[in-house]
Structure 1
């Protein structure tokens, strides 16, 4: 069974962890200095927050698959929604987890991640050749009419999209 995923960039981790722990009625399932995650069963959601230099607010949405078969089903759906525009990231390390994943972006430029977590990782992210600690999030191409995950770039800490280093 898939689990909905929402990731929000926050300004203050301590204040946000306190707020969401009270709102959800439980402490985070995973907590680091710059990241926290709640794995809720009712509703079934993987809700994460981080303070890593991104603009405060919604970072991305997605679905966490419980199996490689579910991930393949989600990939088929992403390909149907965005033909030729899906960014595959095999064996990525992001959000303190090792995962198989892919990304697409909606017509508004909002990133959607589909992933299957295989194990914990010691670092927030190391799935890029150019930015240690950055996780790849597809961006809407500024010179294109439609979103493009093919030309996706990573959003490094504190950098604008136009200065971001592309994923390797």
Structure 2
């Protein structure tokens, strides 16, 4: 199973959850403070809502959720063969889930794409519950880090 992930910044989580519950006719798969996600079957979509007041209506990041770590690795190898660089994040806790993933670098308009699989649920947003930038890499600018402060 693969599906596209769309992570949106929203001004008010409760209002947004109500809207997307109605739009897609499904309940959120996960809700946490400032965070919710929907696992929509039709169309196949992982919709992530990140409460980020003042940034509502903007894209936080994009991704593709895949079935397992082997698929993450195969996709990374295929993209590397095509000349795309990536940043690994294995066995990481981000967005209330333990994940194996990588971030694709070099998108023409600097949009962030992650290819990931969820290994298990987590009660904390990141490995260090005080860490707010689990979806940034070491080369992220201050602006990118701020934008990703509540990502996934």
With the length of structure 2 as denominator, give the TM-score of the two structures. Answer: 0.82
CA displacement at 1:136 relative to structure 2: 2.2
Residue aligning to 2:78 = 77
Give the aligned length. 145
Residue aligning to 1:43 = 43
Separation (CA, whole Å) in 2 of partners of 1:54 and 1:70: 36
CA displacement at 1:55 relative to structure 2: 3.6
Aligned CA-pair RMSD: 2.6
Residue aligning to 1:93 = 93
Runs of 4+ in 1 over 6 A off after TM superposition: none
Does 2:111 correspond to 1:110?
yes
1:13-56 Cα offsets, whole Å, 9 max, x none, are 01111111110111101011211011111111111111146843
Separation (CA, whole Å) in 1 of partners of 2:96 and 2:52: 13
Gaps of 5+ in 1: 139-150
- The 1:53/1:15 distance shift into structure 2, 3 A limit, reads closer
Which one has more relative contact order, counting CA pairs under 8 Å at least 6 apart? Answer: 2
CA displacement at 1:70 relative to structure 2: 1.4
Gaps of 5+ in 2: 148-152
